[in-house]
A and B are shown apart, each in its own frame.
Chain A
Amino acid sequence: MAAPMRSGEGVTKETISQLNLEDVDSFSLIVDHVIGEKKLHTNVFLPSAFGAGMRQREEIMITKVFESCSFKATASGVVGVGLGMALGLFTVGIDPMSTYTTATPDQTPSTRAVLKEMKVRCASYGKNFGTIGFMFAGTECLLESYRGKSTLSNGTISGGIVGGLLGLRAGLKAAAFGAAGFALFSTAVDYYFRHG
């Protein structure tokens, strides 16, 4: 775009003429000022013209916290703990005797024994569910951040990773089965939520 500056009028596309030294001179002068070193850095971008404009600093920080991977993982862990405790309470109500044996069988356990069983089982279930939720949510969030896309395979891969890690305590074969099982389960749940 050769902009002849001789006339002093406004520059339009119709005034493009033969290229000579004055044009090249003024071109590089203008280019230097628009995108080169002599650009005036004002940071005035007229944000109101583009989209919703600038958000407040606090709003940006809060949004960043609520969308971070650590927050999501912790929230999932807390929900898992709650769910585990509820499930533990429920199963103690149904069958408190599965891990507790009285001195003579067929004897109904005392209240204290049942309460103790309740505490133990709630803690155990809560811990298990909490770690599963935390690990799965954290892994899925990290994977999604790394890949930059949100497809169905995110759930599969993170389910495989978490299942494998959790099953590693019981050996390699258990790890493989755990990985496969959890990956399948996670894929099914994701599929249901996406297409169901």
Chain B
Amino acid sequence: MSGLTKQQEKLVADLEMEMMADMYNRMSTSCQKKCIPPRYKDAELTKGETVCIDRCVTKFMELHDLIGKKLTTMSQQDEEKMKQMQAQMTGQK
């Protein structure tokens, strides 16, 4: 791990745990709302519903990855801008 203190490692693990739980909740709510119509004549999942849930979960995970990458690039850009501003301020002083 590149330069993470023990406390930061704990924070990362906690955050990841919370993120996974939150993602699971959102995913199951969203996919259930989209894929399973509210008619409960049968306890078994039909083939259409199974296929729909597979696709929903795959799309959700892919979306999650894509948005995560976007967020990291945006935060990197923010960090560089901040560094430049800081360098300018210290340079002016």
Contact = CB atoms under 8 A, between A and B. Distances in A.
A34 B15 contact: yes
B50 interface: yes
A69 B48 CA distance: 11
A150 B48 contact: yes
Contacts of A33: 1, 4, 8, 12
B76 A28 contact: yes
Given A3-B11, A25-B79, A45-B20, A37 B72 contact: yes
A38 B2 contact: yes
A31 interface: yes
Interface string B31-51: 000010100010000111111
Interface string B45-79: 01111111001000000000000110110011011
B7 A8 contact: yes
B20 A141 contact: no
Contacts of A38: 1-2
Contacts of B4: 29, 33
A145 B47 contact: yes
A136 to B, nearest CB: 15
Contact of B47 (A25, A32, A144): A144
B72 A148 contact: no
Interface residues of A, number: 35
- Classify the interface of chain A: helix, strand, loop or mixed: helix
B83 interface: yes
A169 interface: no
Contacts of B19: 34-35
Contact of B46 (A5, A30, A144): A144
Contacts of B49: 149-150
12 contacts: A21-B82, A24-B78, A29-B8, A33-B4, A34-B16, A34-B19, A36-B72, A67-B47, A69-B47, A144-B47, A145-B47, A150-B48
Contact of B11 (A28, A30, A67): A30
Given A28-B75, A34-B16, A145 B48 contact: yes
Interface string A59-88: 000000001010000000000000000000
Contacts of A154: 48
Contacts of B83: 21
